[in-house]
Structure 1
Amino acid sequence: MSTEGQRIFAGQYRLDVQISSSLNCPMWRAMDLLLKRWVTLVLLPTSDLRSVKLLQESQAAAANDRRDVIAILDVISSGTITGDFLEDSRESFVGIVFEWLDGESLDQLLIKRGEGFDVETALQQIGIIANTLAYAHSLNIFHGRLRPHNLIFSQGQNVRLSGFGLDSALLGSDSTNGVAQDIKDVGNLLFAMITGMWPLVSVDTLPAAKSANTSELLLPSAVHGGISSGVDQIYRRTQTGEFSSMRQVIDALSVGEVEVVENLQARVTRFTANSVSWHPEDGSNTSRFKSISVAAIAVAIFGWIGLQLLTSNFQSADSVEESISSPLPDIVITTPTGTGEQVVISGISTYDPFGDDTENEDLAPLAIDGDTNTAWTTVPYRLATMSKSGVGLIVDLGAETLVTKVDLEFTSEGHIAAIYVGDTTTPDFSTATKIGQTDGLSNVASVVVKEPKISRYVFVWLTPDLPKAKSGKYQGGIAEITVFR
């Protein structure tokens, strides 16, 4: 197959069309040229600090081989995009390859339907999701950030779960307690599937279900009629921490399904049991009078019942409208301003999560000693890609400090570095804030922060490709780091 005029990632995946995504990174439908099949390809520059966690989370999630999970087929730690019409680019990407699935996400399906699922169907579908998560939990794998776009429905309405190792790495986990968060999110998905809205905030393309009383938990029955107290109770227990395992959620959902069916059967039974069949004798005036009297009484009774129901419905509609309408307060955002003073750096250490956790650690202080003739350097590498996503330094400012600018001097041109700020020496790469990046055109660079951040640590992350050293191998080096408040 000719690849002329095409974009090929890592020599194997031909990029076809870019897919709309809320993950803040490119997602493509791609053709696996080796296995001749369509795949979903997520690309994240190795210069993005989130790439470290993305690799870690995806490698762990790949062990989940359950069929109702969209499988991870390949994990590529560093690859480039090539093509005849592309300029020579040194940018490399982490690539996560998922199986391709034709279908619609839950939010797309709800918008298309214009209404939520019936309660029985919702309980059944959420039960499938809960079983899927229970299996993942048995492997010590947690989703951590379930949203409507993670539920994919095929044309046969079979539901499958996506986003393991992806959403939490790129967007951050909602909680450090994986089991508790997944249980809470299962409840939120049940809420959305029944009501067509997401609790309290707008998520994906679904509107927010809001309550005027923010001190109380908003229940599904408050925004949608016909929902039993049993379903409300299941939702409440997922949100308040009463369930300690996904198995307990599964059991409760099973009971909920039975109650829905039994309630329906009971209503039908009551209706048929109270039906009256009456046959008057022919030619009987007394019977005719009784018939007319009974009919008149029945009309009066049913008319009164209808009036009560109509009045009740109008009142319910008003209460629903009141419960879901809540004015949002005006938010005033102020951006802190700096003084331009140089920050006294408290300490510095290397950061090498894909290596041996140390990269010439003893040389790190040379990057903050005020002498540009001394430098911290990486170990020499045979390949410019280092065979990993990067390596770097963590600068300790001693306390939370406003960071407005970071000046860097490298040992040579050709250094591509991403600069982040954070509040821990073991950062969650998905939530660390990137404040800038160097272009490698010069050995000196000044990163000015557009929106100054208050943080304790500054991360200088060297990404592939490293410049070539005089020895013929590839090596990075930082002579001086200066931080300004």
Structure 2
Amino acid sequence: MSHGRTPARLVAGGALAVLLLGLGYAVKQGLDDGGASSAAAPAPPVTTTPPKKTPRPAPPRPAPFVKLTAAGAFDPEGDGHERDEEAPLAVDGRPDTFWRTERYARFFKTGVGLVLDAGRRVRVEQVVVDSPTPGIKAAIRLGNSPQGPFSTVAKARTLNAQTRFAVAKRPGRYVVVWVTSLPPESAGEIGEVRVRAR
């Protein structure tokens, strides 16, 4: 009877072995496929955040024009006057009226000046001078009294129809257009003067 059971056991054992081999093969194939698919999977995209642009600061606004009144003229090397009565014509807002110097056959002075009053002590940033006289040269001076002393805050330049003098924010109340040179046999004319200050 024991001999009858042996073939059945062998058959059952063989079937179990085949089953285990098949299961092992299937597991191995699954692992291999998983590894292949893992290796073939694309890497996730790298996202970078662009740097934030810092906005450029706005350029500083120019100082406003201040209201000027005429204080007269400055002629330290003459009689102390230089057509003072015409000084208001340089700040009346009209391009066709002028303050003018005396007429000189040859300009022999260090300078003569038109003195303008800002009404209070201000920090001057720019002086704009209109002049129809070709060849006239002028500097810009500044002080705290209509009689001086005055210090030069912008060097002498030959004036055009409109000339802008930059001033390094110098404080003062009285602005002087200081005429330093005139063509021979002529007088210098200043049409309008405007001052930017804070």
With the length of structure 2 as denominator, give the TM-score of the two structures: 0.64
How far has the Cα of 1:442 moved from its partner? 2.1
Matches within 5 A, 1:118-137: none
Distance 1:338 1:358, change over 3 A: farther
Return the alpha-carbon distance in structure 1 between the equivalents of residues 134 and 166 of structure 2: 19
Is 1:445 the equivalent of 2:163? Answer: yes
1:413, CA displacement in angstroms? 2.1
The aligned runs of 1:173-322 (5 Å cut-off) are: none
Instruction: Find runs of 4+ consecutive structure 1 residues off by over 3 angstroms.
Output: none
Equivalents in 1 of 2:69, 2:112: separation in Å?
21
CA distance in 2, matches of 1:482, 1:364: 14
Equivalent pairs, count:
138
Q: In structure 1, how many angstroms separate the alpha carbons of the residues matched to 2:183 and 2:136?
A: 6
Q: Which runs of 5+ in 2 are unaligned?
A: 1-59
| 2:175 is the counterpart of 1:463 | no
Tell me the distance in 1 between the aligned counterparts of 2:171 and 2:109.
30
Distance 1:420 1:477 in 2: 18
Q: What corresponds to 1:411 in structure 2?
A: 132
Q: Helix, strand or coil: the match of 1:434?
A: strand
* 1:436 pairs with 2:148: no
Q: Does 1:480 align with 2:198?
A: no
Q: Confirm whether residue 364 of structure 1 aligns to residue 76 of structure 2.
A: no
Closer/same/farther in 2, CA of residues 402 and 442 from structure 1, 3 Å limit: same
Higher relative contact order (CA 8 A, sep 6+): 2
2:58 is the alignment partner of 1:341: no
Answer whether contact 1:359 1:378 (CA < 8 A) is retained.
Answer: yes
Letter in 1 for 2:166: V
User: Which of these residues, 70, 83, 100, is aligned with residue 377 of structure 1?
Assistant: 100
Show the counterpart of 1:28.
Answer: none
Give the whole-Å Cα distance in 2 for the aligned partners of 1:441 and 1:357: 24
Code of the aligned partner of 2:176: F
The letter for the 2-side match of 1:467 is P
Of 99, 120, 143, the match for 1:399: 120
Give the corresponding residue for 1:95.
none
Match of 1:169 in 2: none
The alpha-carbon distance between structure 1 residues 481 and 379, as it changes in their structure 2 partners (threshold 3 A), is same
The higher radius of gyration belongs to 2
User: Which aligned pairs between 1:151-166 and structure 2 lie closer than 5 A?
Assistant: none
How far the C-alpha of 1:340 sits from its partner, in A, is 1.9
What is the SS of the residue equivalent to 1:462?
A: strand
1:427 to 2:148 alignment: yes
Q: 1:424 to 1:409 in 2, by over 3 A?
A: same
Offset of residue 439 of structure 1? 2.4
* C-alpha displacement of 1:441: 5.7
CA distance in 2, matches of 1:441, 1:453: 22
For residues 102 and 152 of structure 2, what CA distance do their matches in structure 1 show?
A: 25
DSSP 3-state at the match of 2:86: helix
CA–CA separation in structure 2 for the residues paired with 1:338 and 1:402: 15
The one-letter amino acid paired with 2:94 is D
Structure 1, unpaired ranges of 5+? 1-336
Which residue identity is paired with 2:196?
F
Distance 1:408 1:448 in 2: 11
Q: Please give the per-residue CA displacement for 1:174-206, whole angstroms capped at 9, x wherever unaligned.
A: xxxxxxxxxxxxxxxxxxxxxxxxxxxxxxxxx
Aligned AA for 1:425? Answer: P
The residue type paired with residue 172 of structure 2 is S
Distance 1:338 1:456 in 2: 22
Report which of the two has the higher share of strand: 2
Structure with the bigger percentage of helix: 1
Per the TM alignment, residue 381 of structure 1 is displaced from its structure 2 partner at its CA by 1.2
Cα distance in 2, alignment partners of residues 350 and 390 from structure 1: 11
